Amino acid sequence: MLKDQAMSVVFDGNPPKAMQTSHTHTPQNALSAQELSQEIKSFISGVDTVQGRKLSVREHARCAVRLLRSVPACRGAVLEHLRGVYDEHVSAFLHNLETEGDTSTGVSSNLEDIIQEVHGVLSEFIRLNPRAWAPLVSAWAVDLLGQLSSKHAGRRAAPHSSSLNELLQLWMSCAATRSLMEAYSQCLAAMLAWCPDACVDALLDTSVQHSPHFDWVVAHIGSAFPGTIISRVLACGLKDFCSHGSKDQGLGVVGGDKGSRVPKIGSVVGILGHLAAHHSDSIRRELLRMFQESLSPSGPLSPSSSASSWESSPQLRRAAVPFLLQLAALSPNLLGAVSAELVELLRPPVLLQLQALLQGLPREELDNMLGLAVHLISQSPAGGARVLRFLADTATPASVIISGPTPSPHEGVREACDRLLQMLLLHLHKLVYNRSDGGEGNSHHSASSQPQRVIPFLEELQTHVGELCAETLRLERKRHLWLHQLLCLLSVYGGPSVATEALCQLLTQARNPEELALAWQLHTPLSTCLPGLIPAAVSRCVAQIHTHTLGPRQLRQLLLNLAAAIQSQDEERRGSACAQSSMAIQLGSAVSGHLHDFCPLLLHGDPAVSHAAVRLLSSSPLPRTSSPAHLLQLSRAAVTHFFVALRRRGEGGKVGRDRGQVGEAVSCSVLLLSHLAAYSPLTLKAVLQQLVEGALHKGNTDLFGGQIADMAGDPPLSPSLSPDLGASLLDINCRFGTTVNFSGSVWSVFHAGVIGKGLKVRAPRPLSDPVEVIQNIQTLLAVTVQCCSSSALNGSINGSRHPPPDPDEPPPINAEAAKVVAVTLVENICPDVANGELSWPPEEHARTTVERDIHIRRCFEAHPVLFPLLHVVAAGRPALCYCSAVLRGLLATLLAHWEASREASATDSPWHLQASCLLVSCMGEGQLLPPVLGNVHEAFPYLTPFEVRLLLLAVWEYVRGNGPMPQKFVFSSEKGLFCRDFSRDGDVARYVAPIHSVLHKNIDRLGHLCWRFQL
């Protein structure tokens, strides 16, 4: 074949014109016709015609070079022969590397000068006549590079094809391949101005044939001519795609022998992939330029444009978009490079142009393109959130992003995006539930046993769960349905962590019941494949609270949403069982396990947050088991919040704020305290103790109309009336009674004033709103009664169960609960009282406890709420017996007052009259007195101080003779209460004689009360 090619070139009668003018200069050592004939014969036969011996490789190569210089028409045969020479040099070069230079005297050194000589000749020809030589030499060089790279790829000295840098370093150190690379680069530089496509076509064809061993050539050429290679590679790839890919894409364009060709798009992807490492910006700009040029209307070619430019062909312009889609599908790197900026380009005018371009395509082709677009979106490694926002904005019916001159194009674009979004959701659904080659039902089980298929679109969206939830909660027509479905798929794909975050975000950001319902709708499909989602979501919410990642407004909304969710359990109790109520039960159970985490929020500085917290805790069920520390912490926080809520209610009324909200906070606080009291005896005791102590605390006394007293029970002195005596002995002596306790002895120290200064002046009592005080006292009594009469306590008394006597009446106060209140009152009013001081001594004995009695009286003066609390204790008989010391001390001071009073009527001492009436009434309610003595307080307003003392003295004598012992009370199964049988206490008549004497003396005023004192 070599001989035929050579002879056809030499003896051709009409050589091309280019061949005649390709070598215009005359060499200095030009061969004669005879010598030229001998050279041709020697080249064809491979034998020296003069000496008759076979030519060596070196000699044969020099003969070919001489022919190439003298007879350029022989270039085809000569270049074909030189392939073997280059291959021989490469083989020797690699052999020397493999043997580490032991055969350095081989072929390589003998042929290197030949390689240089051939390179010089070809370079001269290309420089003098590029149009004739550059296409031929470029095709020969690149094809030979491909053959050499593939043939010697398996040699031991050759690195692996994936090691591109090492491979490039190896081949560029070889003279033969370096010469070929330089020749091709010279040809490409010469052909850029007039015919770059031919050179790039040869590069693409070779890349397809010899990849991946040819990749080092592409990397080197691309680095040397990045702009040209990128643009021309894309153009050539588009032309090949349009012709070769028309069978697949349905684009009726130029035909050809498609079956015998290999598509070049794979080579295009490989070349661009190699160039992306250092020229990603250029690749991105060129891809976006091709997209924009394919949509813009075709115009007249510019003077610099060539006739073969793809922009001038309507068929190529129409195939550009499918070509770019196919290119992106084959290369994730190219897809990631252009996806973000491509979305920014899709403005309304561009969308209308794209719609106009694709309108003429058949339905099948459009479906294929949409399917490919959906695949690309799902595999997009970056910009997924931006793509999703674009599709949702464009597909939303009420969107204002697209505004064309007429509504029809806008509607068409919207429908296309709607369809694309629906196909994307369906495709993602298939990927998510079939990614483990399993069905939907066992996707979660298989997810833990098999490696999962990565979905880049969902992978990127996992970092935008919060934004996705916020967009879903906007409830914009179809938009929130799409996003909610995507959120569900993302939760299944991401597993428990993403699903927990999504549910937590919905619970945090929802602002109304409609938005909150989206959380239930998300939980319903996830509950089948992700068990334990609700507890995990609550734990995540608690973690956000602990880390302070939520602002006050978000925290308040989260607590309100949790409370609203738990309160929906009432629907299930009413018979409307649904997924929402089922989730509410799980949510209530999960929240109950974190009550100790939520209880600090009751004391949050923001009133809205504390209100939301008490609403949540009051509606949440209490856990079945909990540590005592957590229960006491919750009880303490709940009681503290109760008093804070009372104060805020008063302040809200003064400044005119919403009284409904602060009133609801008080109601929720009362409900929470009643739940805690009914939980266990421990919480009952803690709540009642802290309620009583809080009501008597100096920071809360003003809520109940009281005033702050000092340690001795004295109200504070007025600052303006007590001079500053400095650090003096007199000042220390004035406080001596507060540091030394003389109670129980015959000595008592009183400081009624300072010598020379007069009596101590009490500070003016701050005026409280009577209505507010009454309301606060009623609220305190209500919560105390509810705690003392909890059904859990009254369900069993003395080991048996007894229903209340009347369903319409409130349940009775439990005796043990009332005892807790009684003991707490005694401890706070008079801490030094012993628990065994139940019996009463003679009235004269009160002189030994006068200081303690005065302290008790001052406590009652400073705290008006004490009498209502005593009435609560009296209702829980026999708990009032444990207040015996307090009752005795108060009664002793009242007897002393009435004895010393010289007023005409008892009404002239209003507080003492009221205290006497309340004291006797309380003792009668607690059955420390028989009814005939328990009613004497009704006559007090009509009597003189002396007569009041007589009646109170009769009360004292009765209690002294019939001690207030709890053992005297017997439980009545009919009433469900403890009652006292006064018939066992002896004759009561001797205690009633003073009462009858007073009645007879004041018959004109007390005649209507005589029936109250009948035995």
pLDDT of residue 543: 92
Residues 447/450/455/459 CA torsion (nearest 10 deg): 60
Q: Band of the pLDDT at 800, cuts 50, 70, 90?
A: very low
pLDDT digits (tens, 9 = 90+) for 37-96: 777 887 788 787 777 778 888 788 888 888 888 887 787 888 888 888 888 888 888 888
Is the pLDDT at 111 greater than 70? The verdict is: yes
Helix or strand (DSSP H, E) at 111: helix 107-128
Structure tokens that stand for 207 in this block: 């890349």
Q: Tell me which amino acid residue 228 is.
A: T
Q: Are strands 977-980 and 969-972 parallel, antiparallel or unpaired?
A: antiparallel
Closest CA to 526 of 543, 504, 509: 504
pLDDT digits (tens, 9 = 90+) for 380-409: 777 778 888 888 887 776 544 433 443 434
- Contact between 237 and 204 under an 8 Å Cβ cutoff? The reply is yes
* Interval 669-686 mean pLDDT: 90
Is the pLDDT at 802 greater than 60? The verdict is: no
SS (H, E, C) 740-807: CCCCCCCCCCCCCEECCCEECCECCCCCCCHHHHHHHHHHHHHHHHHHHCCHHHHCCECCECCCCCCC
Please give the Cα distance from 612 to 607 (Å, whole number). 9
Structure tokens that stand for 804 in this block: 């209340």
Residue, of 50 and 300, whose pLDDT is higher: 50
Peptide bond into 332 cis (omega under 30): no
pLDDT digits (tens, 9 = 90+) for 854-905: 888 999 988 999 999 999 998 888 888 888 888 888 999 999 998 888 888 8
575 phi and psi angles, rounded to 5 deg: 105, -5
CB burial of residue 123 (10 Å; 0-12, 13-18, 19+): middle
203-214 burial code (b ≥16 CB/10 A, e <16): bbbbbbebbbbb
CA angle in degrees (0–180, nearest 5) for 325-330-333: 95
621-650 burial code (b ≥16 CB/10 A, e <16): ebbeebeeeebbbbbbbbbbbbbbbbebbb
Q: Taking phi first (over 0 means left), then psi (-120 to 50 degrees means alpha), and beta for anything else, what does residue 796 get?
A: beta
> pLDDT > 90: what percent of the chain?
9
- Contact between 952 and 891 under an 8 Å Cβ cutoff? The reply is yes
pLDDT of residue 7: 36
- Contact between 122 and 185 under an 8 Å Cβ cutoff? The reply is no
pLDDT digits (tens, 9 = 90+) for 817-848: 889 999 999 888 887 776 556 777 777 776 77
Please give the Cα distance from 997 to 1006 (Å, whole number). 12
Residue entry with tokens 């505004």: 403
Residue, of 324 and 534, whose pLDDT is higher: 534
Is the pLDDT at 636 greater than 90? The verdict is: yes
pLDDT digits (tens, 9 = 90+) for 487-509: 999 899 888 899 999 999 999 99
Structure tokens that stand for 686 in this block: 């803690």
* Interval 978-986 mean pLDDT: 74
pTM over 0.85: no
Please give the Cα distance from 850 to 861 (Å, whole number). 16
Poorest-pLDDT segment among 117-126, 145-154, 496-505, 971-980: 971-980
SS (H, E, C) 515-572: HHHHHHHHHHHHCCCCCCHHHHHHHHHHHHHHCCCCCHHHHHHHHHHHHHHHHCHHHH
Residue entry with tokens 């702009």: 227
Residues 722/724/730/733 CA torsion (nearest 10 deg): 70
pLDDT of residue 14: 36
Residues 751/756/757/758 CA torsion (nearest 10 deg): 60
Helix (H, G, I), strand (E, B) or coil at 65: helix
pLDDT digits (tens, 9 = 90+) for 358-385: 776 777 877 888 888 888 888 877 777 8
Residue, of 367 and 341, whose pLDDT is higher: 367
Q: Band of the pLDDT at 303, cuts 50, 70, 90?
A: very low
> pLDDT > 70: what percent of the chain?
77
Please give the Cα distance from 654 to 97 (Å, whole number). 98
How many Å is the Cα radius of gyration of the chain? 52
pLDDT of residue 868: 92
CB burial of residue 105 (10 Å; 0-12, 13-18, 19+): exposed
* Interval 668-695 mean pLDDT: 91
- Contact between 610 and 662 under an 8 Å Cβ cutoff? The reply is no
Helix (H, G, I), strand (E, B) or coil at 969: strand
Residue entry with tokens 């592409």: 218
Q: Band of the pLDDT at 917, cuts 50, 70, 90?
A: very high
Structure tokens that stand for 56 in this block: 């060596």
pLDDT of residue 916: 92
Q: Which DSSP category does 298 fall into?
A: P
Peptide bond into 212 cis (omega under 30): yes
312 phi and psi angles, rounded to 5 deg: -85, -5
pLDDT digits (tens, 9 = 90+) for 597-613: 888 998 988 888 999 99
Please give the Cα distance from 598 to 192 (Å, whole number). 74
Q: Band of the pLDDT at 305, cuts 50, 70, 90?
A: very low
Helix or strand (DSSP H, E) at 734: helix 729-734
Q: Tell me which amino acid residue 529 is.
A: C
